[in-house]
């Protein structure tokens, strides 16, 4: 049966593009929504013939109102699941409760290491030799929810933020479509902190 999804993105949308290029996922993307009217992700969606919507943070009184409007937009396009692809706003607990275990995010570290927006910088600053990518189910805490899948990326001695980010993105673009396809096909179930991928 499966579910349709809304993809939320604030920036260039490279992970969105990886989803669009999956022939099994593309028909399941009901809309692409951004808080940034200049996000290149919106252009990627338009080129692919996917409906777009902008919900600007500044137009709302705070996180709860913003999240409610985003949730209304997601449901208005018929989506039952939400996939975050570089969405730089933290959504409210009310939003998470509205889509229970149906919000996915991808993060450029091996969570629980280095949550938050500066994960790649922090990995280099801490001198780790291995970092990676995590896809997780979103809960009310930032980069905290149950882990669905992870991939390692080795840190080279001469890595910069840019070079490490480029290799992490390569893994993201392979891992996220695989997880999202299982998600839209109803093959992922959350049991407490554990995720069962059938």
Known catalytic residues are 107
Torsion of CA 181, 67, 111, 129, to 10 degrees: 100
Report whether the peptide linkage leading into residue 72 is cis, meaning its omega lies within 30 degrees of zero. no
Q: How far apart are CA 65 and CA 68, in angstroms?
A: 5
CA distances from 107 to 49, 82, 110, 126 (A): 27, 15, 8, 17
CB 176 within 8 A of CB 15: yes
């Amino acid at each position: 049966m499966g579910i349709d999804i809304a993809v939320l993105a604030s920036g260039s949308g490279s992970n969105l593009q990886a989803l669009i290029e999956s022939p099994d996922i593309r028909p399941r993307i009901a809309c692409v929504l951004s808080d940034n009217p200049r996000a290149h992700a919106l252009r990627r969606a338009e080129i692919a013939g996917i409906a777009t919507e902008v919900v600007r943070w500044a137009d709302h009184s705070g996180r709860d109102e913003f999240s409610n409007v985003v949730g209304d937009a997601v449901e208005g396009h018929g989506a039952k699941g939400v996939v975050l692809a570089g969405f730089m706003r933290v959504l409210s607990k009310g939003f998470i409760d509205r889509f229970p275990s149906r919000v996915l995010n991808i993060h450029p570290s091996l969570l629980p290491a280095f949550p938050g927006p500066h994960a790649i910088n922090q990995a280099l600053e801490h001198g780790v030799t291995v970092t990676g990518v995590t896809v997780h189910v979103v809960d009310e805490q930032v980069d905290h929810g149950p882990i669905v899948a992870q991939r390692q990326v080795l840190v080279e001695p001469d890595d910069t933020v840019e070079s490490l980010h480029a290799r992490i993105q390569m893994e993201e673009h392979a891992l996220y479509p695989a997880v999202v396809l299982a998600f839209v096909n109803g093959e992922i179930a959350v049991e407490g902190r554990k995720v069962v991928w059938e």
